[in-house]
């Protein structure tokens, strides 16, 4: 299975990352430490997760060289106005203890004003935000830029602008319950790498994911754990996978991926794509817009 994918910039992004969404401040440091010790080279975080300082401290304590680690962060909804972008990026950089990010994503295709109301104009066309990100790439503070939670129409809408730099990745919910085969196909055709968040189904659905009969059968057949079957399936589909755990033993388990035999891969792909898709996460309606509808 690929250990890395090459982005249009030429940078190689590691295929498995430690995801730190919902990793409490008090536990995230241990998880990052375990991840770096076991060989993770990629941490996926965001400004809104509220734990960048703790991630930064763990990185510093590890003595892993900055160039050997891939760091992703994300621009929160309230900072899409071009004047706000660099300040909040600088905040992430300083908390992480670095002077550049490998990847910076627009976290949601939703721009909100300071009072929480929707900024319709920037939500409908995020080009001004994107131009600011392009400028920050030129300035050397970010190496690659992308988006998160964008569906095909929203990506088409963004890329219809005269972009200098195309979105390199789109980070979306991808798991057994929401495998998004159309988005995966379209993204490959358009050279946009998908990243899978909630790859195990996220809190509340993990147990259900790990007990899918096909997943259990393949785990037994290959002598690996159900979580390893699912994480391997993601990479075999050609996406970056971001399993989150704050338990060191699971952090270690989740990096050990194996190529599934073709029949096993096809069996799991078929099972995942033949039930009604169920999205785990869509806060957008609370923000006054239905982004997936
Ligand atoms: P914990 O952090 O307590 O280990 P996802 O990556 O889909 O968002 O899923 C994250 C959830 O899955 C977390 O609740 C995490 O719990 C749990 N989890 C992560 N890795 C494993 C694993 N290998 N086996 C069982 N549960 C796991």
Confidence at residue 220, expressed as pLDDT on a 0 to 100 scale: 98
Question: Distance from the CA of 9 to the center of ligand 1, in angstroms?
Answer: 32
Q: What is the pTM of this model?
A: 0.98
pLDDT tens for residues 250-284? 999 999 999 999 999 999 999 999 999 999 999 99
127 labelled catalytic: no
Confidence at residue 63, expressed as pLDDT on a 0 to 100 scale: 85
Q: Mean pLDDT across the stretch 81-90?
A: 98
Question: Residue 17 pLDDT more than 90?
Answer: yes
pLDDT tens for residues 159-176? 999 999 999 999 999 999
Question: pLDDT grade, residue 5 (50/70/90)?
Answer: very high
Classified as helix, coil or strand, 186 is helix
Residues in the ligand 1 pocket, defined by CB under 6 Å: 19, 198-203, 206, 227, 243-247, 250, 253-254
Domains of the chain in sequence order? 10-287 (3.20.20.100)
Look up the ipTM and state it: 0.98
Q: Quote the mean pLDDT of the chain.
A: 97
- Residue 253 CA: nearest ligand 1 atom is 23
Supply the residue whose CA is at minimum distance from atom 18 of ligand 1. Answer: 245
Question: Distance from the CA of 245 to the center of ligand 1, in angstroms?
Answer: 5
Question: pLDDT grade, residue 45 (50/70/90)?
Answer: very high
Q: Dihedral (C-alpha) 160, 144, 179, 292: value to the nearest 10 degrees?
A: -40
Q: How far apart are CA 66 and CA 98, in angstroms?
A: 8
Q: How far apart are CA 145 and CA 190, in angstroms?
A: 15
Written as one string, the DSSP assignment of 70-123 is EEEEEE-GGG-SHHHHHHHHHHHHHHHT-S-BSEEEE-SS--B-TTS-B-HHHH
Supply the residue whose CA is at minimum distance from atom 9 of ligand 1. Answer: 202
Ligand 1 site-directed mutation target among 30, 196, 206, 209, most atoms within 8 Å of CB: 206
Confidence at residue 261, expressed as pLDDT on a 0 to 100 scale: 98
**Contacting residues for 157 by C-beta, under 8 A, at least 6 apart:** 124, 125
């Amino acid at each position: 299975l690929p250990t890395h994918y090459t982005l249009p910039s030429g940078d190689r992004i590691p295929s498995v990352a430690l995801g730190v969404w919902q990793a409490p401040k008090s536990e995230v440091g241990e998880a990052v430490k375990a991840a770096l010790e076991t060989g993770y080279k990629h941490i996926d975080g965001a400004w809104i997760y509220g734990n960048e300082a703790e991630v930064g401290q763990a990185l510093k304590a590890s003595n892993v060289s900055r160039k050997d680690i891939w760091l992703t962060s994300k621009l929160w909804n309230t900072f899409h106005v071009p004047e706000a972008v660099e300040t909040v990026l600088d905040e992430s950089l300083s908390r992480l203890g670095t002077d550049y990010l490998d990847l910076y994503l627009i976290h949601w295709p939703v721009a909100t004003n300071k009072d929480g109301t929707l900024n319709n104009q920037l939500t409908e066309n995020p080009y001004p935000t994107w131009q600011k990100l392009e400028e920050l790439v030129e300035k050397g503070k970010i190496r690659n830029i992308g988006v998160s939670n964008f569906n095909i129409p929203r990506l088409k809408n963004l890329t219809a602008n005269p972009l200098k730099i195309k979105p390199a990745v789109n980070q979306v919910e991808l798991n057994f319950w929401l495998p998004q085969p159309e988005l995966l196909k379209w993204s490959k055709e358009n050279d946009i790498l998908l990243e899978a968040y909630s790859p195990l189904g996220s809190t509340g659905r993990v147990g259900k994911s790990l007990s899918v009969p096909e997943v259990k059968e393949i785990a037994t057949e290959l002598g690996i754990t159900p979580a390893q079957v699912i994480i391997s399936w993601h990479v075999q589909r050609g996406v970056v996978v971001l399993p989150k755990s704050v338990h060191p033993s699971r952090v270690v388990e989740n990096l050990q991926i194996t190529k599934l035999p073709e029949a096993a891969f096809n069996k799991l792909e078929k099972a995942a794509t033949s039930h009604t898709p169920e999205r785990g996460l869509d806060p957008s309606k609370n923000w006054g817009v239905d982004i997936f509808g």
